[in-house]
Structures are given as structure tokens and as C-alpha cells.
Amino acid sequence: MTETKPETESPGLRPGRIGKEEPGRSSQGLIDLAEKYGARNYHPLPLVISSAKGVWVRNPEGKRYMDMLSSYSALNQGHRHPVIMKALAAQAKRVTLTSRAFHTDQIGPFLKEVCELTGFDMALAMNSGAEAVETAVKMARKWGCMKRGLGPEKAEIIACANNFHGRTVTIVSFSSDEQYRRDFGPYTPGFKLIGFGDAEELRAAITPDTVAFLVEPIQCEAGILIPPAGYFRQVREICAKAGILLMLDEIQTGLGRTGRMFAFEHEGIRPDVLILGKALGGGVLPISVTLAGAEVMGVFKPGDHGSTFGANPLACAVARAAMKVLRDEKLDERSRRLGEAFLAKLRTIKSPHVKEMRGRGLIIGIELNPEAGGARRFCERLMALGMLCKETHEHVIRLAPPLVITERELDWAFKRIKKVLEMTK
């Protein structure tokens, strides 16, 4: 196959050879293996990634693609960032896992650094984002019982329709997406759904049994839905007045993605609980964290919650390097500057297929008209031109490149997006 190249090459656009391919395996052969032996719980685009560096990936045949998905914002620092890979290798030579039965020389420094980065008193580290959300749910319920005096089985949590907080049985219990719920019942009780972006609906939904409001600053999986300006200032006031916890799920929006280190900073507020994951692991290892003040986090006692791999020394070392890269390279500022310019440029595209373009920082959604025939076919055509992105909720193309992307690389991506949107019939 012929390698896809930018029209004008530069040293910054030449990743070179970025890894060894699977010996003796073609892309189609590897896809066939996955289809034969794997559960059909994903519908990936028909390509194989065998090596990666920065914003670029290659398939086994050597064809290069630009990654405009970033593993749903887990790769904010890009593929295999050298600082993060160095930390991974150094720690892997020392110790990788002990369980929380013992202290390690990485967990204390990691917890201190993540608390300093976020401004919270205490943190509890797990592995996946869903585990961190489960941690927040358990913590809020226990806080309601211990600090608010609610009886057993009384604590209620409010969430928003069209949310995406994970896929555990408890989390899909408060999903409004029928596919996420279908045939997985019985569901966990104690949740109430309201509309996203309507502060007065939140106010009306609060009862004496309400302990928390769990919400995403931007609903990424729902199609990059951004609430009205001032919404979170109202939400913050309502939660404070009602004495309930405002819990923000920034697993996708946090750590520079929206042009601020955290999306809640856009409205100058602070939540009571912050949930992080994805980019905290630097695109290398899963690690997540739930953060809160000492009074809230203090409800946990030994034996209440935990994970064998949670806060393992290898993941903690990687996360420390991942946070260092975010700070040192000012990736939040870079996301704001490049994202604003990129979105403005995308809006110059004239296409009958496009209903709306919206975004904040380097998380952008291109919503297509229903008559366009779905976003997947556009993603497939972009893939053929050497650019990888993914549809979300059928009619939205999600664009979320690594935050280390350059202006020239974004120009390269823009030409392909414009071509596909203006020419696809």
C-alpha cells in the first residue's frame, strides 16, 4: 500500500519507523483472528494499528494514519511520549505491583501531586474510569448516611439523561441509553435522571434524600453536548444551598482536553468531588482517581473499598510523568489555542451534510443531518485518506486529537475533513 503523506512534509510530520509489526500477520488476518475469538461488543473501523508515536499510527503493512480520536481522550500526551515511556521503563525495572497491603515509594508522591494539581485534600486511586465513578457513588452514599443522618437504602443521586459514566451494572442503571441497559437488569435503585443543562430541573428534583448530583461538564459520548453558559454556576449554587455534593465526571474532559486543565474552570467553580481517568495514565496504563475534601473522603475506613491493582507503583509512576508532561508542555493552553483556531476553520466548510459544529478546546463534534446517512461512512472515508476518527451516537463525528498535535498537522487534517464533507454524497 502507498503511505499517506501530508502535501508538504516537514521534520515535524515525519514520525519515521515507529515500531515492529506483528510478524507474518496481515491486517486482514489479524482482524479475522479478533472476529473469530473475540466477543462482538465492539464494531471497530476495519484497520489494525501495530505501532504508534505522537499523533501518528501505522498498520502492519506500514501505512500511516493520523489519530484524531486519542483513545477517547486517554492519549492527551500523544502515543508513547518519551517522558512517560522513560518513567514506565524505569519503574518496571524496580517493582510493578505489591497490592495495597503494603506501602510503596510511588503512591504517596502520586497522591500528593494529583491533589496539588486539582486542589483537593484527598484522593482514592483505582484503575478504570468506571471504577472511579463507582467509588464516587459509594462515597456519596456513605457520606449521606454518616454525615447527613440518612437511613440505610435512602441515599439518592441525581444524574443527567444522555450521560455516559461507564458500563457497570450500577452505572447503566442510571443510563438513559436503551442499548446500554437492555437485558442487563435488575438495575440498582437510588438514581434519578433530569435533563442536561437545565438548572431549574435540578432544583426541582432535589429531595431530603438527595446526597449528590453526578454530571459531566460536557457530554462527550452523547455527541459533544455543551450546556448553556452559566449553567454550572447555577448548579454550584443549587447544590451548596441544598447541602448535596456536586460530583463532576471529568474522565474525558479533564487534564487539558477542553482548553483548561479542568473543564469546571471555564465557569470559575469547584466541585465537591472530581473524577479523573483516561489521560491520567498518559496513554500507557489505566489509572483513575476520585478526589474530594477530607470530610467527604474521610468516610472511608479500611475494608470499605479497594482494588488489587489500584494505585499500583507502575501506574503511579506513569501518572506522575503524565501530569508532569501536561504541566511542563502547557497542554491545556495549547488545547485552547489550537482548538479555537481549528473549530473556526472547520466552520468555514460549506457542506449540505453538516447540521452543527461545536466544541471546546480540542474536543469537537461535527453533527450531521439525518439525511447524510450516518457519521460512520464519513469516518470510513476519512480513514481511506489517512485520518482516524469515530462516530458517536450515529450522526456525530468526534474529533479529539492528542494535545501535542501541531498547527501543520491540524491543517493536514482539515484538508481531508473538508474534502470528505464537501464531496461525500
Active site residue 272: no
Residue 83's contacts (CB-CB under 8 Å, 6 or more residues apart) are 321, 324, 325
Q: What is the spatial distance between Cα 52 and Cα 50, in angstroms, rounded to a whole number?
A: 7
The neighbour count for residue 269, using CB atoms within 10 Å, is 18
| Cβ–Cβ < 8 Å for 187, 172 | yes
Collapsed DSSP state (helix, strand, coil) of residue 59: coil
Looking at 110, 120, 142, 278, which residue is catalytic?
A: 278
388 torsion bin: left (phi>0), alpha (psi -120 to 50), beta (else): beta
Residues 101/105/106/107 CA torsion (nearest 10 deg): 40
- The SS3 assignment for 32 reads helix
User: For residue 93, with 0-12 CB atoms within 10 Å meaning exposed, 13-18 middle and 19 or more buried, which class applies?
Assistant: exposed
Catalytic residue among 67, 213, 232, 249: 249
- The grid cell for 318 is 506513569
Q: Which residues contact 274 (CB under 8 A, 6 or more apart)?
A: 118, 120, 247, 248, 250, 254, 262, 264, 290, 291, 292
Active site annotation includes 328: no
Identify whether the C-beta of residue 136 lies closer than 8 Å to the C-beta of residue 214: yes
Decide: 141 and 175 in contact? Cβ < 8 Å: no
Which residue of the set 110, 120, 164, 262 is catalytic? 164
Q: Measuring CA to CA, which residue among 276, 175, 161 is closest to residue 227? A: 161
Do 213 and 180 touch, CB atoms closer than 8 A? no
Measured CA distances, 308 to 84, 168, 190 (Å): 23, 18, 28
The C-alpha atoms of residue 394 and residue 412 are separated, in whole angstroms, by 25
63 among known catalytic residues: no
Helix and strand tally (H, E) in the chain? Answer: 14, 15
Query: How many C-beta atoms surround the C-beta of residue 101 within 10 A?
Result: 7
The SS3 call for residue 278 is helix
Torsion of CA 269, 271, 275, 277, to 10 degrees: 10
Active site residues: 164, 249, 278
